[in-house]
Structure 1
Amino acid sequence: MKGLRCMAVVFIVFLFASPVLAQETVKLIVYEDGYVKVELSIIPDNRTVPIIVSVPEHAQDVIVEDPEGNPVDFQTINGTLLIYPESTELVRVSYYTPDLTSKSGIVWTLNFSSEVPFEVVLPENSVIVDLSDIPLRISETSITMPPGNQSVSYIIESPSPVQNGQESPLKLILALGGVVLGAGGVLIWWRGKNRFDNGGAFEDSLREILKSDELKEEEKLALKYLLEHGGRASQAEIRDALGIPKTTAWRMFKRLEEKKLIRIVKGRKENWIELRG
């Protein structure tokens, strides 16, 4: 009986939910390992009933928020998001998934179905080898596909081949520049570490902010952790130290960045958080 009641409740929710959207934009960011970040912007036509959004089976780090980054209430039922927009006029949904891509040999294929045109941002050095339909727009590694069941096949090229065992002058210049920038980054980080170790105006002002009521408790703990660890740490390190979920940490870092207290440094495998000096 309990199972039947649960099914009845779910049926009623879906009956009164709103699958029709006044406006929707879709963006897919594809990574080299096949993971895809899906970003949706939705303007609901009726904010008094839930919005239905289907998500893949292995969707991860699902975030539903308003334009200011505040969380919007939602629940997941059988691979479907029921979003309750209430007072917000725009809902932003994002998640990561490995379910949209497949690989055969060296060829990757992205498959996606959409009722509206959608943008696909392919990894750097990608070359498109097949399309299911004529694209609406192509710009470097970005392509906009029309609505429907669409596929984009591509390969990721290796760096330009060397000739006679020698790198091209341009590659040598870029490589040298990378070494110089890397060394410069280490030097900047070391100076920043020494500055935080030895104290300074920024640290003093930051400690004053920590004493005020301007920040939430987890934000204060994150900033204290950075102060105690040289002004820099990985997102995962801070998240583990505070014992908070990924989505909560993500929103926290975005708020601190907007307050100009930290900067988020994109890394190849993980992001780093730095105090602004």
Structure 2
Amino acid sequence: STIDNLVVVGDNEFLLDTSIMDDSVLIQTFGSSVITIDYDIHDLVSKQGRLWTFSLDSPSNFTLLLPKNSAIVGMINLPINMEIINDQNKLTLSPGKTEIDYLFSNSISNSLPDTKLETNYFPYAIIVGVLLIILIGSVIIIRNKRKNHKSIEYNEATKKNTIDLETIFKLKPDLREDDKELVKFIFNNEGEALESELRKKFLQPRTTMWRAVKRLEREGVIEIEKKDLQNLVKLRKSMGEEE
């Protein structure tokens, strides 16, 4: 199994140094009495067509949090408990072999047949046409107002020699949506931001944000520097710096 995004946290959410050696990990605890280990593993989920399958043979009870907008369509090993938290299914499962098949809700809705009703749309078409004319006029005015603002932002980015967002996303098309939001925020913040600022902006705990930052560092999008004992996250000036 391949393990990614390993994060180990000690007392007071202090990030601990780790070294992975084959199937073991060496952790410098620095006197922490309790440590939390968080990591990603990719061998538990498979996909066939639109159907996703989670499978695990666990020696003990465990808790599973499914992705948002997912719907369970099949299951081996019924859960001990099941609840909804922030639109996500949270299941508590017993030891043994577990398989859970699920689809994302947009896939389910796309597979449903359309039901059409006979309706006189002419009055609505007139109303929609008028609204579109008003909307188009408003968009033209707003775009004209934003042209100068965009040119100023472009000049600021050019001065800092920071690669533009469109180029970043073109070079890195597989970035996650939440990672793209991080990149946008850093770009609009003159190309750099403290990790603490990112946690405050996106309301993420330290471990979750650190994993996201390290993921972007591995992708060659950002670099991490120390500034006053804090992590300063900076966009790379060139994607050519990737190893």
The TM-score with structure 1 as length reference comes to: 0.40
Bigger helix share: 2
User: Structure 2-normalised TM-score?
Assistant: 0.44
